[in-house]
Amino acid sequence: MSISEIELKFLVNHFKEIIDDVYYISNIYPITKSSLIIKFHHSQKNDISLLVSTFGICVTKYKYSVIEDNDAIKKIKSELERSKLVDVSIFEGERIVQFIFQNVNGLKHYLIIELFGNGNIILCNESLKILALINSINVRHRVLKPGLNYAPPPPRGVSPFSINLDNFLSLVNTTKEEGEGNIDIKKWLGRNLSISKKFVEHIINNSKIRNKKINDLSDNDFKSLFDGLIFLITNISNGVGHEPCIVLDEIGNPTDISPIIPSTVNSNQIKNFSSYSDAVDEFLNY
């Protein structure tokens, strides 16, 4: 299971809608090494519990007990309690969520959640110096550890939120010029755009193109695909036309979540929900 950038955009918009500037952090506690609860209190509204993990983020209705504590989450708790949420956003082209908090003294902290690979939860100060993180990283293109400044990974593909038709057609032409025009359109979309397989399948299945090779498609075909892509991105990120569900395996265990019903999954393997946020909450609680 992975929550795509498009789905994260919707969740981030949801957080912004319900957590106003009166809410403040009243408590933070760990669940496991890779997950924690941030509890927001409001003088006139119900408290909100935000589940933050390396698998996903959601407002949760569930009560969790501490299973495993760690020093990184203790540091996050000590720095962020009593702070208010200033902003929350995603890194373009990545499955990274950034929360900005401000404490009573006006100091800001960044809480960065990476939802790829082994995942990470990273606390930074105002200058993005890392104060604590659950997984240190030392690889060829990236080093993350306390004392260094945070840097996202190198870009992988084009963000679906920034691409326009000219960019899209330019990617097509580059593919042809490099002699790779025999690649099928599904594989090409997955390789060149930061978009999950279930959305690629949905776009192709809703088009008249089906799964053809790049060389077999006309300019009108590519324009139609691009329009379908933008339509899907806009609707999902804004909560339009959602049919939230959890995808089950053959014995009824959850394997994925989706804001739309995947076209390649049998109906008896679908568990429907009234909202995508509820589906994420249920999945992460499993």
User: Could you give the dihedral angle defined by the CA atoms of residues 6, 7, 9 and 15, in that order, rounded to the nearest 10 degrees?
Assistant: 180
Rounded CA separation 122/187 (Å)? 33
DSSP-based three-state secondary structure for 166: helix
Provide the token pair at 155: 């870009």
DSSP-based three-state secondary structure for 100: strand
CB 37 within 8 A of CB 60: yes
Provide the whole-model pTM: 0.93
pLDDT at 105: 95
CB 235 within 8 A of CB 46: no
Cα angle value 76/78/83 (rounded, 5°): 85
- Pick out the chain residues at pLDDT < 50: none
From the list 103, 148, 154, the residue with the least C-alpha distance to 128 is 148
pLDDT at 283: 96
pLDDT at 157: 74
pLDDT at 1: 66
pLDDT at 212: 87
- Give the distance, in angstroms, between the CA of residue 66 and the centroid of all CA atoms in the same chain: 25
The sign one gets for the Cα dihedral 167, 173, 176, 182 is positive
pLDDT at 214: 95
